[in-house]
Amino acid sequence: MVIARSQTSPSPFLSLSVFTGSGQSQNESSNQSLCSLGSLSDKELETPEKKANEQRVRKRKADHFDSSQGKAGARGLKISDYFEFAGGSGPGTSPARGIPPVVRSSPQHSLSNPPVTMQQGSPSSISSVNAELSTCAMKPVVLHMLHKTTQSDLTLEKLTALENSKNSDLEKKEGRIDDLLRVNCELRRQIDEQQRMLERYKERLNKCVTMSKKLLIEKSKQEKMACRDKSMQDRLRLGHFTTVRHGASFTEQWTDGYAFQNLIKQQERINSQREDIERQRKLLAKRKPPSMAQTPPPSLEQNKRKSKTNGTESETLSQAEYHEQEEIFKLRLGYLKKEEAEIQAELERLERVRNLHIRELKRIHNEDNSQFKDHPTLNDRYLLLHLLGRGGFSEVYKAFDLTEQRYVAVKIHQLNKNWRDEKKENYHKHACREYRIHKELDHPRIVKLYDYFSLDTDSFCTVLEYCEGNDLDFYLKQHKLMSEKEGRSIIMQIVNALKYLNEIRPPIIHYDLKPGNILLVNGTACGEIKITDFGLSKIMDDDSYNSVDGMELTSQGAGTYWYLPPECFVVGKEPPKISNKVDVWSVGVIFYQCLYGRKPFGHNQSQQDILQENTILKATEVQFPPKPVVSPEAKAFVRRCLVYRKEDRIDVHQLASDPFLMPHIRKSVASSGSSGTAVASTSSSSNSSASN
């Protein structure tokens, strides 16, 4: 009997099995083909879906032999008889033990691993197989087999090449993975090394910062000691404050040092010598001989003899003797005048030095009473070095920024602890407003604001750009005035900054322009300037500013009265309207003060007197003193800035394009100024010769 069995294999061929002969091997082969292999081929022809279902519910497919046996068993045989017939090993033995097991495998391994294994040498298995063969031989068996062939283009060479290609790709991928793993390990090693290096650098940086702080503090202490030693020496030379009691109160009174006392003694000596010379000149005038044209008196001999007049001896001198004595007196007076001028110049110089000395004494006193005198580090960044100045509610310290490695000015705002919470909140709100205005400004003529932070509930700080020089107010106190060229240079820089403030959106009115808020970068009038202090600035936003009327002045009474225009002092039912013309008026006052060394309005008045006497409201026209000599163009520029009515006054944009600030005007002004200086020197020389 021939049974065909199909297998799905890589090579297209048909499997045929022929079972012939007799004996134990033939029985085993026929047993496999009839019972086991047929069911296996049926399993192999099923789809994966069917296999999945078969795994869930496994049902055995019964053949005719099994069915016939089942019927026979059902009719006459018992289970024990069946066990005796099938196994022959006694009761309790399963018939499956006498049948060789069939190992099922996947179709991919059907060729390489044969699915049928036999237990050889087992008598029970041989007897059971013979019994089944005899039973099958007694009845005809009809087998229905399925035949399926699968054709494929793959050959063994292609399979080998494909396998080799896959293996090579796999080796490449594994090699690439190994390379990436090595690179990853190397990168991790580098990261760890960089991390360790970063930690070392951080540690080194911390050491450098610590050493920098130590050196800065040491240098600051040395400077403080030097300043105090110099101040103690100047106390004897220039003077000092002494406490004087007046009734129940104590006041500080200034006492001049020996330098001023010596100059005063020299002035007294010169004055006494001048008085002596003047007295001798009067006596000489009495002894003046008669002129040569006059007729000599009759008794010349009698006039030549000595006579006493008012207790003094007088003798008529000859013409030559008189002129000789007169020339001596003139020379002595000229020498005394020159010496007095030198003493006066030295006195003015000492006064300037005394102003510095008084300022330093106050600074040292305020620094010694400050709670930040011991070089604290604020906000873990700013190391305070020494006090620069003190205002009403703030202190300004020179500090060092440890992060950016630069010098800065730290302004510490301290609120009065006795203030109400509402007043503290208003002050803090005002300072935050100034910070927001100043933080957005970026111009070379405006001091930069770097940072803002709070210290506690009653104090906060603003960090500003540090300038080495002093302000314009200090310079004017030291030098009284400056040349027109230097003043014009300062005004040009101020106007440039004001133009920037009015070109940004929204525009800003500074409102507090004065010499104290104009910093000289290098301390001289021939360098750069920077504008600071935006505490009273006004923002001209769309809600509050009108291009025709301006904006309402909500802080009337604030500011520095000498530099504010008349419209800021108008009192009425509604607040006055202001615009950027307020800053134009301030520019005119500053330029006037630079040229003449005095303020145009209310020079010797206090702010209270200006307010009570309405000094600025009466300032309808500016007056120019005859000395020093100033060009007409400069006077015209000041007049345009100090126009009384704001409607007639120029604004900032017109001020920026004023002819006086243009280059060609500057050249003509310089030439006229030089000629004016020559004329002035000629007139002064003629006056001096006339006096001689």
Place of tokens 């099995």: 17
Please name the amino acid found at residue 588: G
Exposed / middle / buried, residue 671 (Cβ in 10 Å: 0-12, 13-18, 19+)? exposed
Question: How far apart are the C-alpha atoms of 581 and 587, rounded to whole Å?
Answer: 10
Q: What is the pLDDT of residue 677?
A: 43
Give CA–CA dist 329/323, Å, rounded. 10
Q: Is the dihedral of CA 4, 7, 12, 15 positive or negative?
A: negative
| 409-442 residue pLDDT tens | 999 988 877 788 888 788 777 778 778 888 889 9
CB 329 within 8 A of CB 321: no
Residue pair 450/464 in contact (Cβ under 8 Å)? The answer is: yes
Question: Residues near 5 by Cβ (< 8 Å), separated by ≥ 6?
Answer: 15, 16, 17, 37, 41, 145
What is the reported pTM?
Answer: 0.64
* Rounded mean pLDDT for each run of 10 residues along the chain, 692 residues in total: 41 39 42 41 45 47 45 50 50 44 41 43 48 50 60 80 90 92 95 95 94 95 93 90 82 88 92 92 84 49 45 65 88 92 92 90 92 92 93 88 94 83 80 82 93 86 91 90 93 95 90 92 89 84 64 74 90 82 94 93 87 88 91 94 91 92 60 44 42 38
* Annotation: binding site for ATP: 411
How much is the pLDDT for 403?
Answer: 92
Where helices occur in 116-155 by DSSP H, the ranges are 123-138
Q: Which CATH class is domain 377-465?
A: alpha beta
Nearest to 485 by CA among 690, 270, 673: 673
> What are the C-alpha distances in Å from 206 to residues 142, 381, 383, 399?
98, 12, 15, 19
Q: Which two tokens stand for residue 503?
A: 């070109």
Name the residue ranges covered by the structural domains of the chain. Answer: 2-138, 180-227, 240-245+252-289+315-368, 377-465, 472-661
CB 590 within 8 A of CB 518: yes
pLDDT tens for each residue of 168-215? 999 999 999 999 999 999 999 999 999 999 999 999 999 999 999 999
The CATH label, of 3.40.630.10, 1.10.510.10, 3.30.70.420, 3.40.50.2000, for the domain at 472-661 is 1.10.510.10
Among this protein's residues, is 512 annotated catalytic? yes
From 451, 471, 512, 583, active-site residue:
512
Q: Which two tokens stand for residue 594?
A: 């630079």
Question: 572-579 long-range contacts, Cβ below 8 Å, gap at least 24?
Answer: 576/552, 577/546, 577/549, 577/550, 577/551, 577/552, 577/553, 578/509, 578/511, 578/538, 578/550, 578/551, 578/552, 578/553, 579/509, 579/540, 579/550, 579/551, 579/646, 579/651
Q: What is the pLDDT of residue 141?
A: 53
- Residues of the binding site: 411
> pLDDT (tens digit, 9 = 90+) per residue, 75-95?
555 555 555 544 444 444 444
Question: Would you state the pLDDT for residue 571?
Answer: 82
Alpha carbon distances (Å) from 378 to 406, 452, 466: 15, 11, 17
